[in-house]
Structure 1
Amino acid sequence: MLPREKVFRDPVHNYIHVQHQVILDLINTPEMQRLRRIHQLGVSNMVFQGAEHTRFTHSLGVYEVARQICDNFQRNYPTQNGGADGLWNDDERLVALCAALLHDIGHGAYSHTFEHIFGTDHEEITRRILTDPSTEVNKVLRGVSPDFPAKVASVIDHSYPNPQVVQMISSQIDADRMDYLLRDAYNTGTNYGLFDLTRILRVMRPYAGGIAFEPSGMHAVEDYIVSRFQMYQQIYFHPVSRSMEVILTKLLERAKELFEAGDFDERFNPRLLAPFFNKNFTLHDYLMLDDGVLNTYFHYWLDYPDPTLSDLAARFLDRRPFKSATFTTSSANLLPAMADLVAAAGFDRRYYTATDSNFDLPYDQYDPTSATPKTQIEIMQLDDTLEELSTLSPLVGAITGKVTGDERFYFPKQMLAKPGTPGYTATIAQFQRYLLNGEVIDPQLLQ
């Protein structure tokens, strides 16, 4: 324990309270400090200009929510026999807090886009950072006990034997989701993600199978589910954010293609990306990258002799997103012809057209046959029996198991040139006829 509690000011939680030396030491490791240089919402700051918050601030927030859960459990539901009674054993506090703080430490530069291109897995990287003796994080964790790094890693990969600790960090209502909804809502300037965190924390309670909620808090939990649903539809699935992700993806794909073909101009050689292009990177290579490093390479590539690479770099840095239209299974057959028209207009269809799908399941019941079974939200009745949330809440029941989202076709804005303007051609006219008369989308909803 620290001789005196340390606090960090935070716009969401007011104060983040640190009481353990190991937590403070972990915060000060290079691996944690790297998260200051990785945006929490990737490219969404190009749509919501306030979304400049980072994985670092989110990680501290998740730690703080977990700390409050531990305090509530220890105050109101302390075990009398080491946890065999299904109540909270406070010996689990430190592993829970470390897992909460470190759960995102493996995220890379521009997170999910980078993973898609280079085949990395941030959860696997997280486990490596925790267990690799070369990292400062591992050194700090080993200071607790030799097996402590593996314990924290097992919480993150869901194999830790105490389900209360696992569900505190990863479930359909956990410290991670509760912090990012509130934090993302605050920084994007929206109200969609707001819910009563204080009330939810008060009605959480441990039981032998994990974490449940008291019936009096059911409406606060409903509000959380609806808030999450709205954030995905309005923020995380925003078509312009997805457009900038498409451009980032195409930019990295083009750089990778040039590098693999041996055509990359040495004057612009992305030395820190080379191990990823060569598919032979180390943990050290991974930790050398952040959003700023990639942006620096993108600035170099503005002057690159390959016109596709330089143009995509300019589109990304100068925020010139592609346009998009939704499509369905009935209109998907039009997309190859539309991509051909984009190519006929002078664009390489490999880099200037794309389809993107974003779907979310706001809430689902537990299905043991699923490849990724979800921990369902349980309401503990007065007789200590458990009822799954959607069976008690008509509101949650209405969206349970309902997948929401859309599929979009992305293309250059130039394909929407108006008749009479210099860029308007017969090819573009044909593209627009497909777009509007082919019923790809209601023209009023074109993004």
Structure 2
Amino acid sequence: MMYAKYVKDPVHGYIGLTDVEKNIIDTFPVQRLRGIKQLSVTNIAYPGGDHSRFSHALGTMHLAGKIVESLKPEESISNDDWQLVRLGGLLHDIGHGPFSHSYEAILAPHRGLTHEDMGAKVIRKSSLSDKIRSQGFDPNELAELVFGNPKRNKYLKQIITSQFDADKMDFLLRDSYFTGVEYGQIDVHRLIQAMEVIDGDITIDKKALSALETFMIARYEMFLNVYYHHSVRAAEIMLRKAMNHARELLELTTFDDVEDFLKLDDAYVVSGLRELDPSEHEKNSRKEAKIAKETFRKLNERNLIKPAYERELHIKDEYIAKLLSDESVRTQKESEIAEKAEIKPGNVTVDVPTLASMPYYPREIDPVEIPIFEVTVEGGRNQVSLSESSQLVNVLKGYVDLLRVYTSQEHRKKIRHVSEEVFKELPFSAQLSM
């Protein structure tokens, strides 16, 4: 495993690059990630949080390689597989659009595509495909490893995409470092050292239970304090609104092929929104341009919408689950609140964390699904229940979501009172807190 060069990373120190990786990194699809913020507009609340998808990609590649190296003495992992997994870590976010998940929340409803779908397309159908092939690897196999269901050694995929993968480990450390908060500090080295493959799946030694619990707490705390911070979400809502109204004008979701998609990055959106001239458009398009431009202007001046109402929601109720996942239900509630408050519906946003719109979402992880094992007296491996081994996990299983209603400063008081009336009829289980 010879490295051709090293790059200095503030989180992991020196990260080695092989010739294969260097050649793939020096392509436009990968370099484009420098122009996409990892945390979208989180820097509106945490000024240091403006790191890129590119640095996260390098960090994920680095940790993916470390996991393979830790597993290698016990598993027959070839050097080619080591390289393939590292490439998977490098390219796992290659399909992200401008401002990451803010864009995905627009792409998904209008094109039915996620960043994973686009990632597979970029690997298979862009100029990157030829470069991967020229380095001796199959783009289809690589795309299958990262975004599909590989036919062999599924634990190799779990290194990149699972309940405790290299991606999640790097983003917790990296996002914590750049935002300046302490919540994401986890012991990745202990977690990696405690990994073993049992019955084809990566499992964690029970002896590292405290490191695993810290990992889960870090996800939860980063969600509450960074990713779902009220100002961050206000900025996200405004950015999404601006992009949505300018969607056709800026051709954000009307790309014909992968190469057109790859032209989209943060700078493309920012310059497009700033240069929008409503007078150049007719009627409906002019109205859309006005809303987009005015919303983006307010965002640039940090004139944010405000949370008028906040409520903890217990996730086990069927009605609440629908409210969290069904946009049409939230839109109906927005209209109801606006009508009762006698203001325009566009001035009310019911915000709940959904996977498409969140950088990272604690409920992606079901604690019960994280496999752990304990070593028997005879030296064997027995898989055990995580929930029975950790009281903390049982608490996290009762995780609550947050519902917020946002509006402009002038309507804040009125919307709070109306929201209290509208949501007072939520089922009793929605009113429980931890």
Q: TM-score, normalised by structure 2?
A: 0.81
Q: Name the % identity.
A: 26
Q: Is the 8 A contact 1:225 1:362 kept in 2?
A: no
Structure 1 unaligned spans of 5+: 260-269, 367-374, 417-427, 441-447
Which protein has the bigger helix share? 2
Cα gap change, 1:396 to 1:143, in 2 (>3 Å): same
Structure 2 match to 1:98: 87
Superimposed CA distance per residue, residues 112-155 of structure 1 (whole angstroms, 9 cap, x where no aligned partner): 222222333211111111111x41x2122112446x11111111
Report the residue type matching 2:351 in the other structure: D
Structure 2 match to 1:377: 371
Cα gap change, 1:334 to 1:108, in 2 (>3 Å): closer
Q: Is the 8 A contact 2:334 2:348 kept in 1?
A: no
> Which of 380, 388, 393 is the equivalent residue of 1:391?
388
Tell whether 2:147 aligns with 1:157. Answer: yes
Q: Distance in 2 between matches of 1:338 and 1:30?
A: 46
Tell whether 2:264 aligns with 1:289. Answer: yes
Q: Distance in 1 between matches of 2:417 and 2:64?
A: 54
Secondary structure class of the residue paired with 2:16: strand
Shift, 1:90, TM fit: 4.5
Structure 2 match to 1:361: 363
Cα gap change, 1:34 to 1:381, in 2 (>3 Å): same
Q: Distance in 1 between matches of 2:158 and 2:421?
A: 49
Q: Number of residues paired by the alignment?
A: 385
Q: Is the 8 A contact 1:362 1:403 kept in 2?
A: no
Q: Distance in 2 between matches of 1:280 and 1:286?
A: 6
Q: Distance in 2 between matches of 1:292 and 1:212?
A: 41
Report the residue type matching 1:311 in the other structure: E
Shift, 1:287, TM fit: 0.3
Shift, 1:101, TM fit: 0.6
Cα gap change, 1:166 to 1:218, in 2 (>3 Å): same
Tell whether 2:115 aligns with 1:122. Answer: yes
Greater shift, 388-397 or 182-191, is seen at: 388-397
Report the residue type matching 1:204 in the other structure: M
Q: Distance in 1 between matches of 2:135 and 2:4?
A: 19
Secondary structure class of the residue paired with 1:361: helix
Superimposed CA distance per residue, residues 297-341 of structure 1 (whole angstroms, 9 cap, x where no aligned partner): 121137767543332121122222111122468999985454136
Tell whether 2:231 aligns with 1:240. Answer: yes
Which protein has the larger Cα radius of gyration, Structure 1 or Structure 2? Answer: 1
Shift, 1:357, TM fit: 0.9
Q: Distance in 2 between matches of 1:61 and 1:378?
A: 25
Cα gap change, 1:301 to 1:222, in 2 (>3 Å): same
Tell whether 2:207 aligns with 1:216. Answer: yes
Shift, 1:365, TM fit: 5.1
Tell whether 2:190 aligns with 1:188. Answer: no
Report the residue type matching 1:157 in the other structure: F
Q: Distance in 2 between matches of 1:172 and 1:311?
A: 41
Q: Is the 8 A contact 1:7 1:15 kept in 2?
A: yes
1:241-390 to 2 correspondence within 5 Å?
Answer: 241-256=232-247, 270=249, 273-274=250-251, 276=253, 279-301=254-276, 306=287, 307-324=290-307, 325-327=309-311, 336=335, 338-340=337-339, 344=343, 348-350=344-346, 352-358=347-353, 360-361=362-363, 363-364=365-366, 376-382=370-376, 383-390=380-387
Superimposed CA distance per residue, residues 71-115 of structure 1 (whole angstroms, 9 cap, x where no aligned partner): 2223x42x4xxx4xxxx4544211111101100001001122222
Structure 1 match to 2:282: none
Secondary structure class of the residue paired with 2:401: strand
Q: Is the 8 A contact 2:255 2:261 kept in 1?
A: no
Q: Distance in 2 between matches of 1:432 and 1:362?
A: 30
Superimposed CA distance per residue, residues 260-286 of structure 1 (whole angstroms, 9 cap, x where no aligned partner): xxxxxxxxxx5xx3373xx45321111
Cα gap change, 1:220 to 1:118, in 2 (>3 Å): closer
> Which of 216, 221, 224 is the equivalent residue of 1:230?
221
Q: Is the 8 A contact 2:155 2:202 kept in 1?
A: yes
Report the residue type matching 1:114 in the other structure: Y
Superimposed CA distance per residue, residues 223-266 of structure 1 (whole angstroms, 9 cap, x where no aligned partner): 1111111111211111221111111122123224xx5xxxxxxx
Q: Distance in 2 between matches of 1:219 and 1:407?
A: 31
Cα gap change, 1:225 to 1:152, in 2 (>3 Å): same
Secondary structure class of the residue paired with 1:385: strand
Cα gap change, 1:48 to 1:73, in 2 (>3 Å): same
Q: Is the 8 A contact 1:355 1:407 kept in 2?
A: yes
Shift, 1:413, TM fit: 1.4
Q: Is the 8 A contact 1:212 1:378 kept in 2?
A: yes
Q: TM-score, normalised by structure 1?
A: 0.79
Q: Is the 8 A contact 1:212 1:380 kept in 2?
A: no
Cα gap change, 1:123 to 1:165, in 2 (>3 Å): same
Q: Is the 8 A contact 1:10 1:16 kept in 2?
A: yes
Report the residue type matching 2:338 in the other structure: A
Alignment RMSD: 2.7
Q: Is the 8 A contact 1:363 1:399 kept in 2?
A: no
Structure 1 match to 2:359: none
Q: Distance in 2 between matches of 1:98 and 1:180?
A: 17
Structure 2 unaligned spans of 5+: 280-285, 314-318, 324-329, 355-361, 425-434
Q: Is the 8 A contact 1:275 1:281 kept in 2?
A: no
> Which of 408, 414, 434 is the equivalent residue of 2:410?
414
Q: Distance in 2 between matches of 1:431 and 1:115?
A: 28
Report the residue type matching 2:161 in the other structure: S
Cα gap change, 1:435 to 1:27, in 2 (>3 Å): same
Report the residue type matching 1:377 in the other structure: P
Q: Distance in 2 between matches of 1:289 and 1:334?
A: 33
Shift, 1:215, TM fit: 2.6
